[in-house]
Structure 1
Amino acid sequence: MSESLLAGVDVGTGSARAGVFTKSGQMLGRAEHPIALRRTGASMAEHDSEDIWRATCAALRQAIANAGVSPSHIVGIGFDATCSLVVRDTEGQQLSVSKDGDDRWDTIVWLDHRAIAEAAECTRTGHQVLYYIGGVMSPEMEVPKLMWLKRNLPQSWARAGVILDLADYLSWKATGSLARSQCTLATKWTYVAHDETGWKQDFLDQVGLEDMVEKAALPDRASPVGADLGPLTPEAAAELGLTTNCRVGAGVVDAYAGALAVLGPLSTTPEQMDRHCALIAGTSSCVMAMSQHNQPISGLWGPHWGTILEGFWQLEGGQSASGALLDHIVKWHGAGGEPTAELHKAICARIMELRETEGLALARRLHVLPDFHGNRSPLADPNALGVISGLTLDSDFDSLCRLYWRTCVAIALGIRHIVETLNASGYAIDTLHVTGGHTKNPLLMELYADATGCTVVEPATPDATLLGMAMVAACAAGLYPALDQACVAMQQGGTARPAKPEAAPQFDRDFSIFLEMLRHRQAIDAMN
C-alpha cells in the first residue's frame, strides 16, 4: 500500500490506544496497552509519564503490525489524552507530584480531587475567567492543581521547568516542541483563546500563581487544533516505530477527539449544530456541544473558542464517574466482585431476563443519584455525594442486577439533566452521538435514547476518538487544507436509534424523582 496513512493516539485513565487510518478515515489496525495508576488516597491519583510514553509506543507499534503496513507510509500523527498534569524539571526530567517525593510519579491524574479547597478559592475570586468555565472552578482543572503543588510541594515547584497537559506532553516527547494546544490551554488552564491577551495575569496573581507562565514554560499564544508542530525527532520516531517524515498535529483533551470525529462533519451545516451533541462515555462521561454563539451556561465548562474547530464556540458538561460508578457498584455489592467485561455482560444479560417479566419498571422503587465523585454538571459541585434510596436486605445476584440497572438509569438521567440545561439556554438538542466504552453496554445505549428522549447515533467507526486524532494528523500532514475539511472527508457515518415513545412515561417519572432527590440532598446538606 503506497497511500499516505495516519496514526491516532488516545491516552485514557487506564490505557494508551493507537490506530492506523487511511486518508478516507478507514481504520486498518488498532492496539491498546495498559498504563500504571497509583491511588494514594480517595482523592489522590498519579501517573508515571514515562510509563505512559512507553505504553503509547507499544500500542502504536502493535497497531502498525496489526494493520500490516509500512511505517514509512504514516505521514501524520495526533495525540489526545486525559487532562492530567505532567511536571518536569528544568532539564526535562520527571519531578514528583507526590508527598513521598518519588519522582517517578510526576503526573496528577485528571480525576484527582486533592485541590478542592484551591478550586473553591479560585471560584471566590469572581474573576472574568470563571465566565468561561460555568462560573465555578473544578478541582479537575489545572490551575487549582498547580496551586496545590506550589503550596504543598514547594521543593517540586522550585525545581519545575516545564509543566504540560498530558496531550501536550506527548506532542513534546514526539517533537521537542513546547507549543501548546488551544484546546488544552483554553479548557483547563484559564487561557482565553479569543482575547488578544490570552493569559489573565491579574487572576494568576490573585491565586498565588504569578509565576505559572514561567514555571510551566507556557507560550503567549496557543496553537490551533491540528496545527503542524513539526516532524518526529529521530529518537521519538525510533521509539514509536515511525519515521521522521511523520508530522505531529496539535492535539486535544481526550473527549474533544471524539467530539471532533462526530460533530466535525456537521460543520457544513452550522445552523443545525445546536441540535447535536457528542457524548463521550467511558470511565467518566463528557457531553460536548458546539455553536456559532458565545452562550455561557452556569455549571457547564465554556464557552471556549476554537477548542474543537475554528469558527465555533464549545461547551462541555459531564459526569466525573459513570463507567467507574458501575465498576464501583459491582465491586461494592456482596454478589459482585472484580468488574471484568465478562461480569458486566453477565449482569446485563440477567437484567434483560428480569425485564421480560417486569419491563422498564424493574426495581422501580430503587433510585440512585450517581454523584459518587461529585457533580461536574450541571450543578458544578465537587462535594456532591451519591445517594441510593430503596435498599432491602436482599444480597443475591439478582439484587446486584437490580441495583446495576437503576444505576444505569441514573447515569442516563444525569445526561438528561445536562441536555435539558443546554436546551433551557438556547440549544435544541435532540440527537446524541455516543462514543467510547459505553457503546459496548446495551443497557446504557438503550437508556441514552429512551431516558433522554433523544435519537442516539452510534458511529460506524470502531473507535471515534482515534478517528478524531487521525483527522488532526491529516490536517498536520497537509493531506487536507483545513481541519474541518479533514472531518468531512474522513467521516464514517453511524447508526441511529430513536427513543421509544412508549418508554417516555416511565422515564419522565424517574426524572421527576431524580430532581426531587437532588432537592432533598441539598436540604439535608444544609442541615449538616
Structure 2
Amino acid sequence: MRPVLLSIDVGTHSLRSAFVSLEGHILAYDEEPLLIWKTASTMEFCSDNIWEALVTSVNRLTAEHPLNQEDIKGVGIDTTYSLVLLDEQMLPVHLPGSHRANTFGWMDSRASQQAAIIASEYPGLFAHAGSRISAKSNSSKLLWLFQSAPETWQAATCILDLYDYVTWKLTGCVTRTPTSTSHIFTRDAAAKLNIDIEERFNGESLEIGAAVGGGLCKSAADQLNLKPGTPVATGIIDAYGGTLATILADNHQKSQQPLDCITRRVSFIGGTSSNYVTFSKDTLTCNGADGPYPSVLEGYSLIYARQTAAGAFIDHIITSHPAYSSIYDIAVSLGIGVHEYLNQILYELAGNNRSEYAEDVSKLTAHLHMLPYFDSPEVDQPQRGMITGLSLDKSHQSLAVLYLASIQALALDARYQLEKLKKSGYDFELLIPTGGLAKNQLLLTEHINILNMPAAISEERESMLLSGAITGSVAAGIYSSIEDAMRAMSRYHDRIEPNQQLFDFYETKYDTFMKMQKCQQSWE
C-alpha cells in the first residue's frame, strides 16, 4: 500500500478509524461502537472505553488491510465536544452516581441552572467564545461540577477535552489547542465565578495540526501495532474538522479557489446534532450563534449555528410511533436502513420512483407542521417541540409523513438560523454538506429546497474522515499548512440546484414555522 494517513473520528455512538491517501481518498475504514449512558438531561461516556474502542478499531483496520508500519505517515483525531475527568495519576474520576462514566457528553444539559446564572449574573463573561451560553457548554458543566459535586471536583485534578485526551493517550503528552476549554474558561472567568481551576488545565499549548511531542509513544504504538514516533497531530472538534475537510472544496484537482470563497459558503455538518458553520474576515457576532472564534485559517473567524438534536430528533419521532417496530423489521428483512425504507414509502405515496424525485413528495406535509426543539431548551431559546396536524392514523404511511415533517422542520430551523446570520453581516451562497445525515438524499434535497441554496456534494462520501487526515498531514510535514492540506484533499463532484417549483410552497411553510414560534413564545 502507498503512503497513508491514519484518521480517528470519535462520534457519539461509535469510533471510526480510516486509512486516507495523501490526496484525500478514504482507502479503508473500520467502526467500533461506544458505550453511552443517556437520560433526558445527561450524556456520559467512559474514556477508557473510548481508548479501548480506538485500539480495537485500529488493530482490526490494520489486520484487514495490512501495510508496513512505515507507510503510516501521520495520525489525526477529531472528537465530539466532550469533557474528560482524570485524577492526579491520570486515572478516570467517575461522574456522580456512575461506576464507569468519567466523561461529560456533548449533549449533557444538567447544567441548565448554571447556564442561567452565568447568562443573568455574568453577561458577556464568555463573549470571546460565543454570544450564547448553553447548558451544554463545557463552561456551564464545570460550574455545575464545582457547585453540585464538590468531592468529584476535588478528585478531578486534570480536566481534558476529549480530543486532548486521545492525543495524550497516543503520545503521553498533555496538550491544549486554541479551541480547548482551558483557553475559553479564562483566568478572569474563573476568578469571577470563584472557581480554582487553573491547575486543572496544565499542558502545552499548540496550534491545530501541530505535531505533539515525539509522536506515537511506545506504549500506544505497542497496543496499536504501529511504529513509535509516528507523527500525531493535535486534536480538533468534529464539527470544526468536518468544516475544514469540505469548506474549500473545488471540483478540480489542486483547487485554485481563492481562500475568501469560504466567506460565501456554509458548511452543513449533519449527525446526531447538526452544525452550520461559516467564515468571515470580520469578527461578526450573532445572537443565538456560537462564536465568532479565530480560525486556523489566518485572518478568518468562524461561527456555528447549532441544532443540538438533529438525527436524535428524527430518531425520536420515528421510534415513538406505534408502527416503528413493524417498519424496523421490514427494513432489516430488506437489508436497508429505516430511513431508506421510509424514503421508499414517501416516494410511493407521491407516485414517484426514487430517481424521479418531484415536488409531490415535499407536499405530503401540507397539513403537518413541526418545531424541532425536542431537546432541553436553551437559556436564549426557551421553545419546546411542537406538532400540529396530527391524526389517529397509526399506519406505516403516517410514520413516513411524520418523518418527512421532522426533516423539513430541521431544514426550516436551519433557514431561520442562517437568516439571523445574514442579518448579522454573514453572506453565503453555497451549502457544503457532510456527516451521516447528509448521506440521506431526501434530507439533503429538502435542505437545498428549503434554504433555496445550491449544494456542492463532496467527492469523498466519508468526508468527515478527512479531518484527521488534514491535521495529520500537517503534523507529518507532508503539507506546510492546513490550507494547503485542505486544497490537496477536498473536492466535490456534483452541484445540486434547488427546485424553484417548490419556492412558494416553502415560503408558506416557513411562514407557518415562524408563526408557530411566535405563538409558543406568547404562551410563555
- TM-score, scaled to structure 2: 0.92
Report if aligned partners of 1:480, 1:486 keep a CA contact under 8 Å in 2.
yes
Which secondary structure does the structure 2 equivalent of 1:294 belong to?
coil
Structure 1: unaligned runs, 5 residues or longer: 192-198
Alignment equivalent of 2:72, drawn from 71, 74, 78? 74
1:139 paired residue number: 135
The one-letter amino acid paired with 1:142 is: N
State the shift of 1:494 in Å: 3.2
Structure 2: unaligned runs, 5 residues or longer: 251-255, 353-359
User: Residues 264, 492 of structure 1: CA spacing in aligned structure 2 closer, same or farther, 3 A cutoff?
Assistant: closer
What aligned pairs does 1:28-427 form with structure 2 within 5 A after superposition?
28-39=27-38, 41-97=39-95, 99-102=96-99, 104-185=100-181, 191=184, 200-209=186-195, 211-217=196-202, 222-230=205-213, 231-265=215-249, 269-306=258-295, 308-337=296-325, 342-356=337-351, 358-374=360-376, 380-381=380-381, 383-427=382-426
2:253 paired residue number: none
Q: Distance in 2 between matches of 1:172 and 1:156?
A: 22
Which secondary structure does the structure 2 equivalent of 1:228 belong to?
coil
Q: Distance in 1 between matches of 2:501 and 2:129?
A: 37
State the shift of 1:136 in Å: 2.2
State the shift of 1:269 in Å: 1.6
The one-letter amino acid paired with 2:461 is: P
Query: Alpha carbon RMSD of aligned pairs, Å?
Result: 2.0
State the shift of 1:72 in Å: 2.5
Which secondary structure does the structure 1 equivalent of 2:233 belong to?
strand
Q: Distance in 2 between matches of 1:201 and 1:345?
A: 49
The one-letter amino acid paired with 1:325 is: F
State the shift of 1:111 in Å: 0.4
Q: Distance in 2 between matches of 1:227 and 1:205?
A: 30
Once the two structures are superposed, residues 380-405 of structure 1 have per-residue CA deviations (whole angstroms, 9 ceiling, x without a partner) of 42x43100111111111111111111
1:195 paired residue number: none
- TM-score, scaled to structure 1: 0.91
Which secondary structure does the structure 2 equivalent of 1:262 belong to?
coil
Which secondary structure does the structure 1 equivalent of 2:494 belong to?
strand
Report if aligned partners of 1:147, 1:208 keep a CA contact under 8 Å in 2.
no
Q: Distance in 2 between matches of 1:457 and 1:208?
A: 48
Q: Distance in 1 between matches of 2:129 and 2:157?
A: 27
Once the two structures are superposed, residues 207-245 of structure 1 have per-residue CA deviations (whole angstroms, 9 ceiling, x without a partner) of 232x112123355xx321101113111111122231113
Q: Distance in 2 between matches of 1:217 and 1:253?
A: 20
Q: Distance in 1 between matches of 2:493 and 2:424?
A: 28
1:10 paired residue number: 9
Report if aligned partners of 1:18, 1:60 keep a CA contact under 8 Å in 2.
yes
Report if aligned partners of 1:64, 1:71 keep a CA contact under 8 Å in 2.
no
Report if aligned partners of 1:262, 1:464 keep a CA contact under 8 Å in 2.
yes
Which secondary structure does the structure 1 equivalent of 2:502 belong to?
helix
Report if aligned partners of 1:300, 1:380 keep a CA contact under 8 Å in 2.
no
Report if aligned partners of 1:374, 1:384 keep a CA contact under 8 Å in 2.
no
Q: Distance in 1 between matches of 2:299 and 2:65?
A: 35
Q: Distance in 2 between matches of 1:479 and 1:134?
A: 33
Once the two structures are superposed, residues 77-125 of structure 1 have per-residue CA deviations (whole angstroms, 9 ceiling, x without a partner) of 111111111000000001011x2252x2101111011101111112124
Once the two structures are superposed, residues 409-437 of structure 1 have per-residue CA deviations (whole angstroms, 9 ceiling, x without a partner) of 11111111122112222222121111011
Which secondary structure does the structure 1 equivalent of 2:495 belong to?
strand
Query: Identity, % of aligned pairs?
Result: 29
State the shift of 1:147 in Å: 1.2
What aligned pairs does 1:421-460 form with structure 2 within 5 A after superposition?
421-460=420-459
User: Residues 260, 345 of structure 1: CA spacing in aligned structure 2 closer, same or farther, 3 A cutoff?
Assistant: same
Q: Distance in 2 between matches of 1:496 and 1:316?
A: 23
User: Residues 50, 130 of structure 1: CA spacing in aligned structure 2 closer, same or farther, 3 A cutoff?
Assistant: same
User: Residues 462, 70 of structure 1: CA spacing in aligned structure 2 closer, same or farther, 3 A cutoff?
Assistant: farther
User: Residues 87, 264 of structure 1: CA spacing in aligned structure 2 closer, same or farther, 3 A cutoff?
Assistant: farther
1:504 paired residue number: 503
Once the two structures are superposed, residues 332-351 of structure 1 have per-residue CA deviations (whole angstroms, 9 ceiling, x without a partner) of 11111386762222111101
Report if aligned partners of 1:123, 1:130 keep a CA contact under 8 Å in 2.
no
Report if aligned partners of 2:293, 2:301 keep a CA contact under 8 Å in 1.
yes
State the shift of 1:359 in Å: 4.1
2:489 paired residue number: 490
Q: Distance in 1 between matches of 2:66 and 2:423?
A: 50
User: Residues 190, 418 of structure 1: CA spacing in aligned structure 2 closer, same or farther, 3 A cutoff?
Assistant: farther
Q: Distance in 1 between matches of 2:133 and 2:503?
A: 35
Once the two structures are superposed, residues 167-213 of structure 1 have per-residue CA deviations (whole angstroms, 9 ceiling, x without a partner) of 1110111111111122334xxx562xxxxxxx63232122232x112
State the shift of 1:128 in Å: 4.1
Report if aligned partners of 2:249, 2:492 keep a CA contact under 8 Å in 1.
no
Once the two structures are superposed, residues 134-174 of structure 1 have per-residue CA deviations (whole angstroms, 9 ceiling, x without a partner) of 43211111111111112222112111221111111101111
Which secondary structure does the structure 2 equivalent of 1:461 belong to?
coil
Once the two structures are superposed, residues 425-461 of structure 1 have per-residue CA deviations (whole angstroms, 9 ceiling, x without a partner) of 2222121111011133121011111010011122111
Q: Distance in 2 between matches of 1:43 and 1:74?
A: 41
1:194 paired residue number: none
